[in-house]
Structure 1
């Protein structure tokens, strides 16, 4: 009876559009890359690699991408683990680095906040601060001033480069959401200092001063974040040469896994994938479609009281 139920569930998920993980032998990947395929630490799950390669090969065939490398991310893995992948097949390069996931929000009408280690909630709604799986292509970069920080005993302006992503389908609003990649660090402003000769001074001659906060492997505002070393490598890789990025899971995957968990079915038997450690922690994932979550976020924003911008104290 249980076997019949598992077969029935697998058929239902297949009809729902869920794509099963494809084995290394079946996917036609190069032999050297097969050692990196799996669900262990530092490996890439078969379905993630299969979709990332298919996206890359499609864009190369259409001559939209000429970069010899492509990238992928498995947002079902725990934070701090190697869940962001840089793959250069001709050079036989495979690297797994840590990457953050969207922290979400806890609103009165909807709680879609994620934990530090594992992501349960996903969405493509603007302002959700959540990760959205699917297809992306890297675009141009923007470098902006974030504040002055004290380094080697002196105040130094800190700049952070933001790599824009262009999406398709569920990720087509990536620009609207200001979704991209950057180093997992920000300047926590503490005070303002008078520095009228600085090109970053305001009308009164003040500049913000703070301390650097590194959150590598932690949560983000929905962007893809990396360590300083990984950021420099990725920015060099895509400079003047865009490439593809595939982020797993998509909405269909999340819904299919949630149904499997509810039915107490085996993910493997149903041809589905989710990192087992994170699945134990979150119980079941949830996808919040833009059409449902966006109105909630918009109503919350309209309800916020109007306040004057907080003025930083003067540095002593």
Structure 2
């Protein structure tokens, strides 16, 4: 066991030396700090752009979505055309797919956007509700919400990799010493209770906490964009209640979902607090209450206007 401990220590120290060498090479060839920051941002944005374009194609191909012909839904397309004239978007491609649960989402840009609808929505929702839901998705295309989110995560992943590279020469020796001491003592599982193991956990905990805070900030921004898309849809259509009804119908039809599209879905009230914090969507009930409040305020404003006349 002592021999295994020594071998582990040599292995970790070797990895630390390798990471230090890589960091030294990067440092020697790195430009001035301002240029380096710009380069990191540029690489992150380019990676995010490629990830978004390739990811969008892969997602659409995996869904086996088909375009909804105008002849099959002329009334719905007339509503889409009217929304297009009132919003800063081009004519979107409307695709139908069999999603794990009823929902809709938008991909692409405002001039070349795609709105994916679950087939069941054409049966579950009225024309007004479909229009309001489509306006919500077009509002996302107006502000490039999905694209911005992908860019943010790409830059975040790049920065996280650089942070790991910078900390590796320090963290790897700590891990090696902690595990080697535990093996030499005859209890490999106790490495986390050694002084070096506790120090390693403190450092790792600080790094994880930092990354978690960034993740929570990005997810909070995503939830704010959902509220903004609701407000935009309500303003453009003048039918906040229709969007509220559509959200309620989707919520009632929803079941717990796992997999590739889970973060795109409206979340039910069964989600725990941590799930809500990490969700890209706010509480459906909160969204519905906001929309109904907007409708109530609009009615009161209209009644006051009539009484003044």
TM-score scaled to structure 2, two decimals?
A: 0.26
Give the structure with the higher percent helix: 2
Give the structure with the higher percent strand: 1
TM-score scaled to structure 1, two decimals?
A: 0.25
